[in-house]
Amino acid sequence: MISYVRANGKDEFELINTLKARGGEVDTRVTAAVDEIILNVRQRGDEAVKEYTLKFDKGVPEKLRLSKEEIAEYAKSCSPELYAAMERAAKNIQDFHQRQVQQSWLNTKEDGTIMGQRIRGLERVGLYVPGGTAAYPSSVLMNAIPAKIAGVKELIMATPPAAGGGVNPDIMAAAYIAGVDTVLLMGGAQAVAALAFGTQLVPKVDKIVGPGNIFVATAKRQLYGVVDIDMIAGPSEILIVADETANPRFLAADMLSQAEHDKLASAILLTTSEQIANDTIAELELQLAALSRKEFAEPAIKDFSAVILCKDIDEAIYFTNKLAPEHLELCVSNPFEYIGRVDNAGSVFIGNYSPEPLGDYYAGPNHVLPTSGTARFFSPLSVDSFVKKSSFIYYTEAALKRDMADIVTIAEAEGLQAHANAIKVRF
């Protein structure tokens, strides 16, 4: 079953290295296959995309590109209950991300010089949405809504066609609610390449966001620089810090909520209570037995998860910052006491009634989060992910003359005579 470790300054850190390495190596055969797809799409465009769609999706839809009106039509097949729930979730997501918007600014000094920064949304963004069993409407909302708030002028979503060339109505409903402009019924590395380079049918985008399988993730990695990307996402993970006041049933359920994603997913419990540790392990076995996605959750719990007994909460928080988890739950009696000490975490869930799925679907903060320890330097997807910034400078003649000597001194120290001369020539 799950590993049970007593923190001793060694075993728990060996676990960190194991977790950060999982899923980190891309099979050379995958890389080679993706390179071939990218090259083929770059050279042959739509023709290559259709060939790969036929090969991997077993059929090419009559229409590969859907307009906003067609998206709305397909969205009508979504169940009313799901549609209403997604509308309410979208409102929460919009409210949270609206508060992230930055304004352009300028600063005029007494000497007449003006400095400033202009912020505006990207021109065109591509959103990749997986198909099949990994079709998640919530990801459409989380990626598209902040893009629209940022001022992205055109949002194009690529998603594989369903069996027989159809579409997933739930995905279409989420796209319509979030304001997606165009849907492309194409998937895989070929869709990523088409978005990056542009074809007759597919407009070239400035950035590609959204989750996908290993081929999609590898294509995004290979094409970074041709376009911008959000991040290279690894397997999902949750870390829970719990004391004796936590509920083992809640803890086990929350750990399994991530373990069911993928066989490489990770669920870690750090607790100061041996009783909580033992009871949670028992609950994991009980709940796992009844889980519909047991085939994914069981290997994740066995191979990449653990219960770690810590001497106190301070040790647990120290370990948390070392692991830098994607999701962190603080199931302790006084969780707000520790918020200021958590420096490395994608998203923090506070208290016993803020489970991780609340963030996945509904509360408002983004669920696109850094994984595999990258929360040390990466941030969640946000409005900032979809904007670009330019700075501007205005100097008067008098101001430039005043600062001339300093600028020339620095330029000449770097051996750049023309830089220095571009200042001196004006006087």
Average pLDDT, consecutive stretches of 10 residues, N- to C-terminus, the chain (427 residues): 86 76 72 95 95 88 93 95 98 98 95 96 96 81 98 96 83 97 96 97 96 91 95 90 97 96 93 97 95 92 94 95 95 95 96 96 96 92 97 96 97 97 96
pLDDT at res. 133: 58
Q: What angle do CA 361, 363, 365 make, to 5 degrees?
A: 90
pTM assigned to the model: 0.92
178 falls within a domain = yes
388 falls within a domain = no
| Residues 124 and 174 placed together within one structural domain of the fold | yes
| Residues 65 and 209 placed together within one structural domain of the fold | yes
Integer CA distances (angstroms), 11 to 18, 306, 310, in order: 11, 11, 12
pLDDT at res. 166: 79
Out of 196, 229, 262, pick the residue that ends a domain: 229
| Residues 304 and 341 placed together within one structural domain of the fold | yes
CB 255 within 8 A of CB 356: no
CA nearest to 230, candidates 344, 119, 130, 380? 380
| Residues 110 and 192 placed together within one structural domain of the fold | yes
382 falls within a domain = no
| Residues 41 and 160 placed together within one structural domain of the fold | yes
Out of 195, 229, 263, pick the residue that ends a domain: 229
| Residues 165 and 136 placed together within one structural domain of the fold | yes
Q: Which residues contact 372 (CB under 8 A, 6 or more apart)?
A: 19, 20, 22, 23, 24, 234, 235, 237
389 falls within a domain = no
Quote the CA–CA distance of 368 and 11 in Å, as a whole number. 30
Tell whether the torsion through CA atoms of 160, 163, 164 and 167 is positive or negative.
negative
| Residues 298 and 285 placed together within one structural domain of the fold | yes
pLDDT at res. 1: 84
H/E/C letters for each residue in the chain? Answer: CCEEEECCCCHHHHHHHHHHHCCCCCCHHHHHHHHHHHHHHHHHCHHHHHHHHHHHHCCCCCCCEECHHHHHHHHCCCCHHHHHHHHHHHHHHHHHHHCCCCCCEEEECCCCCEEEEEEEECCEEEEECCCHHHCCHHHHHHHHHHHHHHCCCEEEEEECCCHHHCCCHHHHHHHHHHCCCEEEECCHHHHHHHHHHCCCCCCCCCEEECCCCHHHHHHHHHHECCEEECCCCCCCEEEEEECCCCCHHHHHHHHHHHHCCCCCCEEEEEECCHHHHHHHHHHHHHHHHCCCCHHHHHHHHHHHCEEEECCCHHHHHHHHHHHCCCEEEEECCCHHHCHHHCCCCCEEEECCCCCHHHHHHCCCCCCCCCCCCHHHCCCCCCHHHHEEEEEEEECCHHHHHHHHHHHHHHHHHCCCHHHHHHHHCCC
191 falls within a domain = yes
Quote the CA–CA distance of 119 and 395 in Å, as a whole number. 21
| Residues 189 and 245 placed together within one structural domain of the fold | no
| Residues 113 and 249 placed together within one structural domain of the fold | no
- Specify the CATH number for the domain of residue 283: 3.40.50.1980
12 falls within a domain = yes
| Residues 14 and 155 placed together within one structural domain of the fold | no
373 falls within a domain = no
Out of 204, 229, 254, pick the residue that ends a domain: 229
Q: How many CA atoms lie within 13 A of 321 on its CB side?
A: 11
Quote the CA–CA distance of 15 and 209 in Å, as a whole number. 30
CB 331 within 8 A of CB 311: no
Catalytic residue list: 326-327
| Residues 106 and 221 placed together within one structural domain of the fold | yes
H/E/C letters for each residue in 356-424? Answer: HHHHHHCCCCCCCCCCCCHHHCCCCCCHHHHEEEEEEEECCHHHHHHHHHHHHHHHHHCCCHHHHHHHH
Q: Which two tokens stand for residue 225?
A: 């620089």
Q: Using one digit for the tens of pLDDT, what is the confidence trace for 287-312? A: 999 999 999 999 999 999 999 999 99
What is the span of the domain harbouring residue 318? Answer: 3-24+234-363
| Residues 44 and 176 placed together within one structural domain of the fold | yes
How many independent structural domains does the chain possess? 3
Q: Which residues contact 377 (CB under 8 A, 6 or more apart)?
A: none
CB 131 within 8 A of CB 214: no
374 falls within a domain = no
pLDDT at res. 7: 86
Quote the CA–CA distance of 360 and 364 in Å, as a whole number. 9
Task: Indicate the Cα dihedral angle 210, 216, 221, 222, nearest 10°.
Answer: -140
